[in-house]
Amino acid sequence: MTDKYCVIGNPIAHSKSPDIHAAFAAATGQDIAYERRLAPLDGFADTVRDLVAQGYRGANVTVPFKLEAAALATRLEERARLAGAVNTLRFDGSEIVGDNTDGPGLVADIVRNAGVPLAGKRILLLGAGGAARGVILPFLREKPEAIVIANRTRATADALVAHFADHVAYPGQIAACGFADIAGPFDVVVNATSASLSADLPPVPASAFRAGTLALDMMYGKEPTPFMVFAARHGATVRDGLGMLVEQAAEAFAVWRGVRPDTADVLAYMRAAS
């Protein structure tokens, strides 16, 4: 019997996840169906209960429900608990298991697709919202020399440093600063602010980059973001968030199906289609 999955969000019409999961299913020979599901803004929990009743096996969760999904889950994987957000639900009998594959997806895109190992590297993370929080544990597992979190609201970055204090290899492996105090250059700079959504450049100094810095914007779209244009002008190799999107989907597929699909063809297809 075909196993059913979906992605829940509001809005949801723009989501590329059904195309990505259809391609993974075809490539791996897994018999699944995957669709978009619009949940009312006050109706996320009802939507999930409805899916469970209809025999769905799991769901992805996107804006604005990732925090609510974490609260609704009856069990959280460690990476979801520390992220405080859930993008992948697995329905297992009476259990609703919450997971977060956004951070592992970003790391897979940087390490495998961009070919940049993170061990011993200096990483600058711009932003301290949900997306930033989700990548910190997966980054730490790669054993970087340092992760500096720069945020417009400094207190939020400080809170993230405290939140992950038990997971650092040594004091100072994670630090916080305001944008004005960024002391570069860095090997990897990740824009996890939502500035690109409004075509704004986060106030990152040019000194954050050097020739060969990998500058990745979590946002994706047809045009390079102002952050990507600025970083390229200062010598960085730039990348958008499409690879992260495809890799987080592959991680979710692995959570559900126990097989991690190859992503290269799907990423190339999505890149050509965008």
By annotation, the residues acting in catalysis are: 66
The span of 11-19, 27-35, 152-160, 168-176 binding ligand NDP (CB under 6 A) equals 152-160
Q: Does the annotation flag 130 for ligand binding?
A: yes
Binders in 205-224 for ligand NDP, by CB under 6 A: 218-220
In the complex with ligand NDP, the residue whose CB is nearer, 169 or 183, is 183
Task: Tell me if 196 contacts ligand NDP by CB under 6 A.
Answer: yes
Rule CB under 6 A: choose which of 153, 169, 229, 268 binds ligand NDP: 153
- Residue 241: count other Cβ atoms within 10 Å of its Cβ: 24
Q: Give me the residue label for tokens 């009476």.
A: 94
Contacts of 152 (CB under 8 A, 6+ apart): 178, 179, 193, 202, 203
Task: Tell me if 197 contacts ligand NDP by CB under 6 A.
Answer: yes
Give the strand order in the sheet containing 95-99. Answer: 32-38, 3-9, 58-61, 88-92, 95-99, 75-76
Task: Tell me if 15 contacts ligand NDP by CB under 6 A.
Answer: no
Task: Tell me if 128 contacts ligand NDP by CB under 6 A.
Answer: yes
Task: Tell me if 130 contacts ligand NDP by CB under 6 A.
Answer: yes
Distance CA 245, CA 184 (A): 28
- Residue 200: count other Cβ atoms within 10 Å of its Cβ: 13
Rule CB under 6 A: choose which of 100, 151, 213, 263 binds ligand NDP: 151
Task: Tell me if 202 contacts ligand NDP by CB under 6 A.
Answer: yes
Contacts of 131 (CB under 8 A, 6+ apart): 102, 192, 218
Rule CB under 6 A: choose which of 10, 113, 156, 237 binds ligand NDP: 156
Cβ-proximal residue to ligand NDP, closest one: 129
Min dist CB 117 to ligand NDP, Å, is 21
Distance CA 243, CA 110 (A): 9
Compute CA distances 174 → 116, 131, 153, 163, whole Å: 20, 17, 17, 11
Q: Give me the residue label for tokens 């004091």.
A: 171
Annotated binding site for shikimate: 15-17, 62, 87, 102, 220, 248
* Binding positions for ligand NDP, rule: CB under 6 A: 102, 127-132, 151-153, 156, 192-197, 200, 202, 218-220, 241, 244-245, 248
